[in-house]
Amino acid sequence: MTVLVSYEGVLMNWKEQPIRDGFLLAHSLMAGNRLVICTSGTKERVEHQLRTERLQDAISEVIDRSVHMDPLPLWQRQIELARSYWPVSMVLTADPEVAEYAVEHGLVSLFFAHPGFSHPAQRPEQGNRSWEQLTEELDLRLRE
């Protein structure tokens, strides 16, 4: 099984610090699976961090920003590129839009939300949408 893992939001936070819970989850997915990291950064930056976290040997590939093709969003192009190479069966992401796209296209989606590592402006206590509002919005979109 191939699992696509979002680097930003799952393995690294907005301050470029590792998200320990994301790395623990990625470690748990390594057994019997191919892990492919998707990033909006560079392959070199990701590979350096993965060596630091002792995940390099478990990663089959890193798909970086070089696969961007307009008008598709980068993450959508990364998913489609990965599907052209491997039998992708799961997407691990911190982006609800990516999770929705994955589900709509027949992939299991594991939504990773770690409140301690979200950008302060995006936290519900900062006046943005609450968790209930997000789930209601996602439910409405899935019904359409």
**For residue 80, pLDDT beyond 50:** yes
pLDDT of residue 126: 47
Name the residue range of residue 25's domain.
2-119
Residue 82 lies in a domain: yes
Average pLDDT over the chain, rounded to whole? Answer: 84
Q: Does the residue 139 lie in any domain?
A: no
* 21 in a structural domain: yes
At residue 116 the predicted structure's pLDDT band, cuts being 50, 70 and 90, is low
Q: What is the pLDDT of residue 87?
A: 95
User: Is 126 part of any domain?
Assistant: no
> In this structure, is residue 18 part of a structural domain?
yes
- Classify residue 135: in a domain, yes or no: no
Q: Quick one: three-class SS letters along the chain?
A: CEEEEECECCCECCCCCECHHHHHHHHHHHCCCEEEEECCCCHHHHHHHHHHCCCHHHEEEEECHHHCCCCCCHHHHHHHHHHHHCCEEEEEECCHHHHHHHHHCCCEEEECCCHHHCCHHHCHHHCCCCHHHHHHHHHHHHHC
Q: How many whole angstroms separate alpha carbon 53 and alpha carbon 20?
A: 9
Q: Is residue 42 part of a domain?
A: yes
pLDDT higher than 50, residue 27: yes
- The first and second tokens of residue 134, run together, are 């997000």
* Within a domain: 128: no
pLDDT, mean of residues 7-21: 87
Number of domains in the chain: 1
Kindly tell me if the per-residue pLDDT of 105 is higher than 90: yes
Give the model's pLDDT for residue 93: 94
Which CATH number does the domain housing residue 41 bear? Answer: 3.40.50.1000
User: Residue 124: its pLDDT value, please?
Assistant: 46
In percent, the amount of the chain with pLDDT more than 70 equals 87
Which tens digits make up the pLDDT trace of 39-72? 999 999 998 888 887 777 667 799 999 987 778 8
